[in-house]
Amino acid sequence: MTTSSALYLSEKIKLERYCAYEDRCVFQIKKKLFTSLLTDKEKAALILSLQSNKFLDDHRFACSYVSGKTRIKKWGEYKIRLGLKAYQIDDQTIAIAMKEIQLDDYFKTLKDLIEKKSGQLSSIDNEYEKKVKIIRFLVSKGYSLSDIYQAGIDAD
């Protein structure tokens, strides 16, 4: 066994564990392999091996990313799309993954965030200032203005 094939097997085992722990995308694996001593051909073969053995799947990663960010982080659609773009997920995969968002849950979460932030800002008497702070907060979470207004903020 040559040192190159031993290194390849070692990297493969490490990456299989890395991918089994949590859904990963190709970009993350390429980033992980960047400093590896493997040749470019071996890196490509390793990525193909991970994909063919179902350790690595961009679609599965995108769906779990969307699910986690909407349910746990309570992010809006825009911020999720930007996050997936940062992982170099293609537009078609992003569009499919975004269909996983249940609109009822999405707007319920948005309304809950509005109520929570409104409660935190109860000391502010100026209603306009309070509304601006709530909208700014929701936009920073990735929600669009049209969704915010649809969820219950009045458009004065």
Res 35 pLDDT > 90? no
Say if residues 111 and 152 touch (Cβ distance below 8 Å): yes
Task: Work out the percent of the chain whose per-residue pLDDT is above 90.
Answer: 77
pLDDT in tens, 53-66: 999 999 999 999 99
Angstrom distance (rounded) from CA 125 to CA 122:
7
Angstrom distance (rounded) from CA 42 to CA 91:
28
Q: Where are the domains of the chain?
A: 3-56, 59-98, 103-151
pLDDT at 1: 44
Q: What is the pTM of this model?
A: 0.87
User: Using CA atoms in the order 146, 151, 155, 156, what is the torsion angle rounded to 10 degrees?
Assistant: -160
pLDDT in tens, 4-25: 688 889 999 999 999 999 999 9
Res 152 pLDDT > 90? no
